[in-house]
Structure 1
């Protein structure tokens, strides 16, 4: 095996979008034959290759750690015509078409990167996106080489009774010596990153779906036999997704089989391989005892996302990895639409925006900022980012807003029809929208080219005598690495005006497109002072700055008819109060308390919405509003406001808590909302320091018939100092110590604790027998969660930074892709005081000095250091 690491002293080469060149050779047909064994798997590949264009360049087949055992050209040995160029196999070929055969041997059991073919919990499985096939066999491993695959799998039947690959099963049977085989054929051309196989001993939840054209599709979700009962929710979500995609986008499934496999060790959430989706088990397994309501929502959303990729990613794929948001941003938007239709659209939108602000806004404001169509990279795995996914989805949403639902659907239909079976670009997607709608989207294309979160300034003036109101808007896009000067971008802002005295709508919602540095909008017939509601439903991914007073925000939090805008007004009121408290050491809590009380006691509101609206913004989000983040001061200010809200509204919180108590578990939107509000109420009672808070929490924990109530109570206890705290943590561990997914919750609950000793606890947990660096879920559960705990991570001693850097260095030796994703919190050093910034930079330098550092971590750390 070749060394996968690159010396830190030699920066990896930079791949640039402008250097794209069409592939020299195409591979219309490929046959793969696997003789599976965890220690030594033989892979025989037969590639039908054709020269692409008029050139004399050789065939170049990517490899990573592979040694060719056999190379044949048109059936004959080819010792004199091939050579190795680094990890790649290069073959000089005359003429236009040939058949190339290679054979290699790989060791899945030793593959700790979880990229390519690897072993997990008794299974052999693959992850090939973005560049994993080159770790399995020699191939032009790029997304614009599309091939039809025939795959033969052979393995010991006792150990691997199940043999799966892409497409439909065409044949199979028994062999001598207890082995068996299966053959799979995928008739649709696909790039290498969508290749998949799974071999193992699994059981299936089976079902079927009849498409709108009358074809019956066999469905199966494959898991360990003991977990089959935890797959009903995923199966229901799959069938709902298939029906929704037919109805909403006119997209029908195209194979006779659709298989999903859940694995315990996985770098990502899931993978959309054609006909054979491979999932991180956390996004498949769910029952009331082990999964929270949030987990249930996550399962449904991810199942939908991967299924929707069948068209937005598989049938139409990416020309190159710079176009990654072409499939991911579009598909995230589609899964958000689906989730909104399945549950509370308002709460779903709040959750989408909260996630965007927690991960993508800081990314846009830091050293790793990049457009949704990047211009360059060292390691493509580093660009599976919130910008590509979440901001990419917001860009698609803006197109939907600008064009309208009907024209957007016509555009998506044209895109799928025009590019079916092709590797497309972001430009071609926008062109299809333009051609179908007749709209001019020239300026909109800037969203694909510019990084940074636009800032919008909005002010409303009123002339009572004339009845005119004037909305003045301005935009700016901050400088980002490599892009010091930005152009104005078209921002579709949903706006409305409300009367301060009457509360009625003075100007109904309209979409105002701010497409230059400034714009004015005139409203007529405004007889009273208007209050501005802007960026309703978060119609543009921007930061809005207004001159609205605390009273205006409180008014909107009680009267706005757009749920997101109502939530946003409450959040802005809270943020403004906390920023003042941090800056001055004191603040007037009364407006926030009164606004929370109005929302909490409004019987007309959905409990799920109430629970989201009354939550204080996170400490990290408050820090994002400040020039210099002061973690201890933010924590103190937030805790003081929580205590005040809890104390002043104790009776209302007790009523909300009692309202959420149910005789039995039920999975429904109403029951989910009541459970959510119940835990929020319990948190506020604990913040108020009421005498029975710990007893209430422990009783809820001990008596819960579902994980949502149990973990919610455990989180409240974990933040306190009661005797019940340790009992609950011990009981939770003993009950679930054999369940890895639930044990992840135990690690995370302690990693995000607000206690003073959180850092000590995290360092102890890293030495716990159940903590491992080899499982990405466990690593994210402890290390990733801790890095999001602003107060504990940014301890003035620098221990938090040192802990994270130690983890990065250790994990990089096993799984560079996962290690690199831990780096970004250290790269935010510019936002902190000089002492903390110096400590963070020192840890980044220490990481970069490690011999043999992977290019994944090198790129992230070097860019973060600046």
Structure 2
């Protein structure tokens, strides 16, 4: 931890200061004597001086106790520690360095390095956790081949796993045993992994395209074994998909996944030994929702795909983080789209982008997908790096087309296999194989902010000419007051207002200037514009389309995403008018919903997404000043009117979706999703009958999707049945940490007047702990995105979250820092709320002993 004086002047790492490593470490051998209280780590590093210089070798450290340091087999005394870095003067060009250190896994609450979780020992090294295990040049451009030996008590830690393939194992006479693993592929230290524990495996075999057999294992506690089949099937499906779509074959004899309860991230792609947050491994119908099943498949695929886009080709430095993360998110999104409804998947991806990344781009923490500087790299594991980074890859794929994009990725993998590459290397491969100039497109890597595209169309019925005018602008972001025009690939199409038929084929327009005009000939009827189809560019589109135009597109557009988008825009316009004026005409939205429900060509999953109202936070994003109460009131009024006007229809949809038993298929998922949406509208119409219906569903449900959907409906309402349902849910699942997280988050997300009081009480619940990141996110994180409750006018919500973050920072700075952004949006709200939020950020910055993770996030939120 840093004291406040140190935090006030933190070290800033800048991309422009990058220089290659002075020393390389082509080989490393690690010997672990494992014990939760005191683990001894012996490291043998074969080091080579890189280029002509006289610099000593600097090995990063973090919290370990050094015991011995040897060079070429001889103990030395002229080493020194500078800011936890081990500095060793060396005169020759190649040496062998041996160190022995001691670490304390059970006291490692930061969950970085080697730590204890649920009685097991595991590691997390990305981004800079390896330095907490042993002294090493902890940077991604130092690639090494690893040999690992682990010794541990056999009864306590019967399973010993590491990267690569197993080599040998044996028992010792004192009740201990050992195992050796070798990884033949050079990798950066952030990909190192090791697990020791009492675990069992769900095993399978995958045969690669070249005929090699790969032994697969999903390792969990014995009681969780039955919940691993879905993850194992997802892994096999992902391996086959990557071979088919990208030509990438797995390269080791073993691929293992280990589930742990205490984890800062979703999962980690360590070479051959992926370590996962248990929420992205464990699933069965009784404990996991359809969303959980889908997320598990996506995350399993994501981490597996990293074997090539991240491991075989890694990052030169952490400024290139989106090189592996943006590309791999794009790959996992494409995989998920192929497994079910591509349209629904695209809707979900864009909704997530708008919920997390657009506000980031519009706030004090805005940064490009390749940042220029950071104080703490863990703060740049952001929606911009991941989600916007994926959209940037998607734009290149759109401009190149499938064949040229595949050729470009083949070139990238072949050219940079076994090396640490840059974003520029990736883009250059796109240019070379795609035959395209991406000079201006590179601005996406260096310029922050979300472009806004204005589109208007003029039609001259006499001449049959239509002219589309497109313009773009990007608002200033911290440190970037002036923005250059971006390259925006916009898929668009015109429809005839009279015939509802397309006027010509879809076009891909590449907008490169501040303004461009596009002419269409022989347009004999008024055209209606469908733009940014498939969300081909991550932009905000502003058009002069009327409510009638939007309703028309929501009924007739042949691009599913554009159809959904038209409905959402119609709803947004209505809701913003209601929030601003106190009342709006809801009939156009109701009629559009009827048209959507009546269309037999639409699958139920798409219908459920299309008829769902935008979130309160997204409505607020459309307003100059966010008014949480006005937004809540306007949204509830529209929900109530939709529920009342279409009550019979919602009940029919509800009943039609209720006659099926659980199965995990696109059709069944769509029916369950629509059933939950219909139940919500029935409840919005009011009356105790809706609560009775929800409670009956809650009790009779044969799956968690239906059960939690009913619970959410009850928790958000006023019926006394909500208390009974919460008690039943808790008693049924009190021994299941992942399901109990749902119990906490469902209450934290409720729009009820008493949610803050409920959350404050839950913070003192015997099952609440800040030490577990999942539980902290389930209560504190969920409450902070509950727009109405968090932004209650007296500031009590801000004080509660700040108290929790300050306490969490002392345990786990990474998790705490990631929960600051809702406070950082203080400029978007009225002056009274803004002052209260700013005061809490100042309280965080002034806290003694604040971590640099928290300081960077809070101070930037104040200054940006």
Question: Per the shorter chain, which TM-score range?
Answer: over 0.9
1:66 deviation in Å? 2.2
CA contact (8 A) 2:199 2:222 kept: yes
SS in structure 2 of the partner of residue 159 of structure 1: coil
CA contact (8 A) 1:8 1:848 kept: no
1:9 deviation in Å? 5.5
Q: Within 5 Å, which residues of 2 pair with 1:194-593? A: 194-593=191-590
1:572 deviation in Å? 0.2
Note the alpha carbon deviations across 1:730-760, whole angstroms, 9 max, x for none. 0000000000000000001000101111111
1:4 deviation in Å? 6.0
SS in structure 2 of the partner of residue 69 of structure 1: strand
Distance (whole Å) between structure 2 residues aligned to residue 185 and residue 857 of structure 1: 38
Report whether the alignment pairs 1:662 with 2:633. Answer: no
Change (3 A) 1:135 1:576: same
SS in structure 1 of the partner of residue 794 of structure 2: coil
Report whether the alignment pairs 1:17 with 2:15. Answer: yes
Change (3 A) 1:657 1:830: same
Which residue of 2 is the match for residue 792 of structure 1? 789
Which residue of 2 is the match for residue 184 of structure 1? 181
Which residue of 2 is the match for residue 828 of structure 1? 825
CA contact (8 A) 2:289 2:703 kept: yes
1:507 deviation in Å? 2.5
Which residue of 2 is the match for residue 45 of structure 1? 43
Note the alpha carbon deviations across 1:67-100, whole angstroms, 9 max, x for none. 32100000001113x1111200001101110000
CA contact (8 A) 1:207 1:220 kept: yes
Distance (whole Å) between structure 2 residues aligned to residue 574 and residue 775 of structure 1: 38
Q: 2:733 aligns with which of 733, 736, 745?
A: 736
Distance (whole Å) between structure 2 residues aligned to residue 248 and residue 351 of structure 1: 22
1:480 deviation in Å? 0.4
1:665 deviation in Å? 1.2
Distance (whole Å) between structure 2 residues aligned to residue 600 and residue 618 of structure 1: 21
Distance (whole Å) between structure 1 residues aligned to residue 586 and residue 778 of structure 2: 34
Distance (whole Å) between structure 2 residues aligned to residue 665 and residue 518 of structure 1: 52
CA RMSD between the two structures: 0.8
Q: 2:780 aligns with which of 760, 775, 783?
A: 783
Distance (whole Å) between structure 2 residues aligned to residue 9 and residue 127 of structure 1: 24
Which stretches in structure 1 are left out of the alignment for 5+ residues?
Answer: none
Report whether the alignment pairs 1:67 with 2:65. Answer: yes
1:723 deviation in Å? 1.7
Q: 1:709 aligns with which of 706, 711, 726?
A: 706
Note the alpha carbon deviations across 1:207-229, whole angstroms, 9 max, x for none. 01000001000000000111111
1:11 deviation in Å? 2.2
CA contact (8 A) 2:192 2:270 kept: yes
Figure out how many residues of one structure are paired with residues of the other and give that number: 863
1:690 deviation in Å? 4.0
Note the alpha carbon deviations across 1:497-527, whole angstroms, 9 max, x for none. 0010100001221110111101111111111
1:810 deviation in Å? 0.1
Distance (whole Å) between structure 2 residues aligned to residue 360 and residue 211 of structure 1: 37
Which residue of 1 is the match for residue 33 of structure 2? 35
Distance (whole Å) between structure 2 residues aligned to residue 329 and residue 444 of structure 1: 16
Which residue of 2 is the match for residue 594 of structure 1? 591
Which residue of 1 is the match for residue 152 of structure 2? 155
CA contact (8 A) 2:688 2:719 kept: no
Distance (whole Å) between structure 2 residues aligned to residue 525 and residue 288 of structure 1: 56
Which stretches in structure 2 are left out of the alignment for 5+ residues?
Answer: none
SS in structure 1 of the partner of residue 181 of structure 2: strand
Change (3 A) 1:6 1:351: same
SS in structure 1 of the partner of residue 504 of structure 2: strand
TM-score when normalising by structure 1: 0.99
Distance (whole Å) between structure 1 residues aligned to residue 200 and residue 144 of structure 2: 30
1:691 deviation in Å? 4.3
Distance (whole Å) between structure 2 residues aligned to residue 66 and residue 813 of structure 1: 18
CA contact (8 A) 1:608 1:677 kept: yes
Distance (whole Å) between structure 2 residues aligned to residue 486 and residue 710 of structure 1: 48
1:310 deviation in Å? 0.1
1:250 deviation in Å? 0.3
Note the alpha carbon deviations across 1:460-499, whole angstroms, 9 max, x for none. 1111111111110000011100111110010000000001
Which residue of 1 is the match for residue 715 of structure 2? 718
Change (3 A) 1:851 1:805: same
1:7 deviation in Å? 4.0
Distance (whole Å) between structure 1 residues aligned to residue 6 and residue 354 of structure 2: 33
Distance (whole Å) between structure 2 residues aligned to residue 175 and residue 56 of structure 1: 45
Distance (whole Å) between structure 1 residues aligned to residue 660 and residue 313 of structure 2: 49
Distance (whole Å) between structure 2 residues aligned to residue 691 and residue 187 of structure 1: 65
Distance (whole Å) between structure 2 residues aligned to residue 755 and residue 274 of structure 1: 46
TM-score when normalising by structure 2: 0.99
CA contact (8 A) 2:60 2:131 kept: yes
Which residue of 1 is the match for residue 848 of structure 2? 851
Report whether the alignment pairs 1:646 with 2:643. Answer: yes
Distance (whole Å) between structure 2 residues aligned to residue 4 and residue 256 of structure 1: 44
Distance (whole Å) between structure 2 residues aligned to residue 821 and residue 84 of structure 1: 31
Distance (whole Å) between structure 2 residues aligned to residue 173 and residue 17 of structure 1: 47
Distance (whole Å) between structure 2 residues aligned to residue 480 and residue 86 of structure 1: 34
